[in-house]
Structure 1
Amino acid sequence: MKLSVATTSIPGDLLEKLETIADAGFTGVELYEPDLTGFAGTPEKVGAHTRALGLSVDVLQPFHDFEGQTGKARTGAFARLDHKLDLMQGLGARTLLVGSATDPATISDEDALCGDFTELANRCAERGVRAALLALPWGKCVQADAQALDMVNAVNHPAFGLALNSFFSLADGSQPARLRDIPGDKLFHVQLSDAPAMDFDIRHLKSHFGLLPGQGGLNLAGFVRVIARLNYDGPWSLARVSDTTQSSRDSFARDGFRALVSLLDEVARTEPAMRAPLSDLPQRVYPTGFEFVEFAADKDAERELAEMLAALCFRKERQHVSKDVALWRQGAANLVINSDPKGFAAESFVQHGPTVCDMGLRVRDADQTVTRATALGTPEFSQPVGVGELDIPAIKGVGGSVVHFIDEKSDLHRVWDIEFDPVPRTEAIPPAGLRRIDHVAQTMRYQEMQSWLTYYTTTFEMDKTAVVDVVDPSGIVLSQAISSPEGEVRLNLNGAGQRRTFAGAFLADRFGAGVQHIAFLSDCIFETSGHLAEAGFSRLEIAENYYIDLKSRFGLEGAFVDKLREGNILYDRDGDGEYFQIYSTPIFDGFFFEIVERRRGYQGYGARNAPIRLAAQMRYQQAQKVG
């Protein structure tokens, strides 16, 4: 199976683009002609370099405004065609991608259009190449796949076929099933691109909304399935992606390969007509819970964090047998404080200060999890293992973190008994009713959000929600939640831009992306609130105006609102579902904890309360500076 990507999606000069594409695992490219035009070398040199990297030039693009021209413009169009064919022969390219004409002067005479495309096909055949017609929604005469197919059938030439772009085919709400009657031998090229699932006219958006597969809401799996049943055997290519979604050259190529392979693999598992893109690739992994979250700290940060955990009624239960690593526990929530002067945590502390450096997820098979992740391009993580320690499978996460995997097929789930000794208890600390970790929120730059999303959704069996705009007092923060199907693992991805926002300040102070808060699940928020008050928990103070508005917004009883106000508890409701939130005051220049309760199937995260929380955090920080 050929996996291809358009060079226009990769930053850098042409040779850098090609090397990055090959390193990511692709086998072919769509060569964007301006990349070649700006390169100081011959097409033959580019073609030879491409082949030396193990790549093929599957497509040369773009070729626009060819058909329907008259007079000198028509003569010029055929001269441009001959030039393109010369380039193709030098490059060793197989297919010319022809976008339907958008020039307002294009004539609408179908016979004339068919005659132009017939001559194009003849000239391609003479050179031993072929052309694929892509219907552009903003084209003058050919705007839809059906129109392009009619033209291909009218020309009826083996060197002239159809190209499809999933964005153009699906973004207007059309269903993939309408493509099932395309003759397989007429389909020359397929581009895969995602977009938000919404009602819009894509003629007004053109290429500005392209996303990698899985980042949007289009039915790409259905699109691929229909095309596979046509016995399509050409490249599966990533079309040009909007510049606003990209970060670095390397990360886009890596994300693109991961997204493309994951999509094709998903379809191949249930579609006999589809070949798997990679052999022996394990299925996406179902995470069944958070096993632990680990903090990197020095002695001062350890004391500050330990005080906060004690106020949350966590207990220090175990100490590592040979390292300065402690386990704090309440219910099924395991928090690890690593202040050992050597190892990955120590390096993380030097780079980021006090930070979450590691996360452990419970899975059914830890080794298979690592196998899938590494096959998709994620680096495996390892460090020296001491005597009596377990070698726990792990991968490098995004933002410089690590993700370990715990299963019950071996001794991995006994890590706390094997590597840690119990800590003698001098005082019994009653728990506050925190049952487990509900969700973990990670903050990153806007440009990194889609990369993190692709990392998680291609490795793990997780669903995503729509992106939400959160109004910070100093700007906008984008938030997207992803979770396992039953909510055992929930992650919030928050994209920050401005330094003045609370999230933006966290990024600047941490020197990069990372976990900004951890939420714990309670079965009774009011009972938990009482225990926390007795333990001296420092919680965020919520403005009185919030509770006045809350009473009228949801029609709540006064006594109920008074209980919320007394505990600085935030409230949200969605249908019959209810959600309660308590926030700690921030530590480490922006990190904080949250306590939540979910009632009657509430699945959200209290998005409408986020501006209230952010305003309270800003007030707290300003008061700390004044104090």
Structure 2
Amino acid sequence: MKYIALRASYFRVRVAYMSIPTDFSIGNVDPAIKTIESIGSPYLGLAINSLYALSNGSRPSELRDVPIHSIFHVQLCDGYVQQPASEEQSSHSDMLPGQGNLNLAGFVKVIAASGYKGSWSLAKIDSKKAKKSFIDNAYDAYRALVNLLDEVERSHPQIKFETPNMPARVYTSGVEFLEFSVDDESHYQITQILSSLCFRMERKHISKAVELWRQGSVNIVLNNEKKGFSRSSFLEHGPSLCAIGLRVRDSADTVERASALGASLFSQAVGSSELEIPAINGVGESLVYFIDDEQSDLHRVWDIEFNPVTKSEAVQPCGVRRIDHIAQTMKFDEMQSWLLYYISTFEMEKKPVVDVIDPSGVIYSQVLESPEGEVRLNLNGADNSETFASKFLTSRFGAGTQHIALLSDDIFETSKILEASRFERLQMPDGYYNDLKQKYGLAEDFVNKLQASNILYTREKWRIFSNIFSTNF
């Protein structure tokens, strides 16, 4: 080390030494600082990597005693404290900020507040499974770094970085609509499904082949236009969910932040009586539209662009109140990118990644949700080509929405109404209910009640989940 310091002095360059967990001769940050301080050269300093500093459970506050003049370089790298929750996570030793669970905001805050004025860099993404291009990795890295520094600036105004001026992360208060691209044949099929789910067609577009189907606060849009984005989506992916509309406080702020973080904006020509709804590109070449709560006329889109239809007969609702969650399936590397896309743009909290066992492999699932649970997304990452999720990717020619879950307050009452409306549900084998009885110690009468309605049952700690699945479309 002394020799390195002498050579650095001779060439008038600064050398930053980084201690890593496998370096047993130096060990961690404290011994490295003592070594550097004992040499006392202005050309030899410390490089700190957040993964190495925090992954053993250390707190960012422990770095307050590091002499600020000794820190030459800082690397920001996410990971997992102690053991990773998922097998897949263990193969990603270096992750971008936001992809792991380390307290990187606290790490940056402590070092910046101490007076560090140097650069903030990202460590190399060290994943044997990385399949994305350098350009895609650069976009992800930019989004992750800017979002992290912006988070620190907003929580500690005395700390300033050279980041883009943009609005804060956006609060999403709900899903305003789901839009499906269809043709004549798939339009008939989907309307049959919606009718059996007790949805009713409420409105038609004033000038386009677009319908609004509704139940509770769930708005389903069927787009059978022969031109425009929806048609292009249909030709590329077949009948599928091509757009999601989210309710936000300010759509202009939303697209401004998304754009500043690298999202692509979308626009297409609109008619004279139509609203120009702000949108960005989303998962699997779909769109994400933004509807203001009160800032503009966007929240009146159903009144402005649609006419009510004459109701021939009343339809009894089946008890669906709102959208519970939307599951989007993609390859694992894409999942990491879309995770950053969502948590950097919106106020969303991520849950730990869990391994979902498939008969042909493992699917990695991560839940994102708004603070009050109004919007919940399941991101499912698949690598094994034989898993059900991977087959979905192949059949759809890429990532997309795999299923939509609707919330009911009374699953048994909903099941009864769906039985009368001839909703085609997934039939569960008898062995499933025998296993339920043994696994959860359920009463036989209750298990029989579940089986009679083909209701699935899961219990996690104090939470109970009951589900009715449709057949595949």
TM range (shorter): over 0.9
For structure 1, the residue ranges without an aligned partner over 5 or more in a row are: 1-116, 588-627
Q: Report the counterpart of residue 201 of structure 2 in structure 1.
A: 316
CA, structure 1 residues 351+332, in 2 after alignment: closer, same or farther (shift >3 Å)?
same
Larger Rg: 1
Deviation per CA, 1:190-245: give whole Å up to 9, x if none: 00111123348xxxx99951111010011111111111111111110000112235
Q: Is the 8 A contact 1:187 1:232 kept in 2?
A: yes
- The reply to whether residue 196 of structure 1 matches residue 83 of structure 2 is no
Map of 2:365 onto structure 1: 479
User: In 2, Cα distance between the equivalents of 1:562 and 1:343?
Assistant: 50
Residues 506-551 of structure 1 deviation map (CA, whole Å, 9 limit, x = unaligned): 1101100000100000010011001111111000011111111212
SS of aligned partner of 1:306: helix
- 1:521 alignment partner, SS class: strand
Cα displacement (A) at 1:393: 1.0
Task: Confirm whether residue 154 of structure 1 aligns to residue 38 of structure 2.
Answer: yes
Contact 2:203-2:308 within 8 A present in 1 as well: yes
Conserved in 2, the CA contact under 8 Å of 1:497 and 1:504?
yes
Q: What are the residue-to-residue correspondences of 1:215-364 with 2, within 5 Å? A: 215-243=99-127, 244-245=129-130, 247-364=132-249
Whole-Å Cα distance in 2 between the matches of residues 206 and 519 of structure 1?
A: 30
Matched, 1:170 2:46: no
Cα separation, partners in 2 of 1:208 and 1:428, compared to 1, 3 Å: closer
Would the alpha carbon gap of residues 206 and 327 (structure 1) be closer, same or farther in structure 2, given more than 3 Å must change?
closer
The equivalent residue for 1:490 is 376
- Number of the residue aligned with 2:68: 184
Cα displacement (A) at 1:575: 2.9
- Whole-Å separation in 2 of the counterparts to 1:219 and 1:246: 27
Distance 1:425 1:215 in 2: 49
Instruction: Give how far 1:449 is off.
Output: 1.1
Deviation at 1:286, TM superposition (A): 1.1
In structure 2, C-alpha distance between the alignment counterparts of 1:213 and 1:572, rounded to whole Å: 33
d(CA) in 1 for partners of 2:207, 2:82:
55
Task: Give the structure 2 partner of residue 563 of structure 1.
Answer: 449
Q: Secondary structure at the match of 1:269?
A: helix
Higher mean C-alpha displacement, 422-431 vs 484-493:
422-431
Instruction: State how many pairs are aligned.
Output: 467
CA distance in 2, matches of 1:292, 1:467: 27
Following the alignment from structure 1 to structure 2, what is the Cα–Cα distance between the partners of residues 301 and 276? 51
Structure 2 equivalent of residue 96 of structure 1: none
SS at match of 2:73: strand
State the one-letter code of the partner of 1:403: V
- Paired-residue identity, %: 52
Q: How far apart are 1:353 and its partner, in Å?
A: 0.8
1:505 and 2:384 are equivalent in the alignment:
no
TM-score w.r.t. length of structure 2? 0.96
TM-score by length of 1: 0.73
Structure-2 change in CA distance of 1:175 and 1:584 (3 Å):
same
Match of 1:34 in 2: none
Return the match for 2:14 from 103, 122, 130.
Answer: 130
Q: Structure 1: how far apart are the matches of 2:209 and 2:9?
A: 71
AA aligned to 1:489 is V
CA-to-partner distance for each residue in 1:326-375, whole Å, 9 max, x for gaps? 11100000011111011111011111111111000001111101010000
Asked if 2 retains the 8 angstrom alpha-carbon contact of 1:261 and 1:277, the reply is no
* C-alpha separation in 1, matches of 2:329 and 2:207: 33
Q: Taking structure 1 as reference, are residues 474 and 329 closer, same or farther at Cα in structure 2, changes over 3 Å only?
A: same
CA distance 1:285–1:493, shift in 2 (3 Å): same
Say if 1:211 and 1:245, in contact at 8 Å, map to a contact too. no
Relative contact order: is structure 1 or structure 2 higher (C-alpha 8 Å, sep ≥ 6)?
2
Q: Which amino acid aligns with 1:506?
A: F
SS in 2 for 1:180: helix
Question: Structure 2: 5+ residue runs without aligned partners?
Answer: none
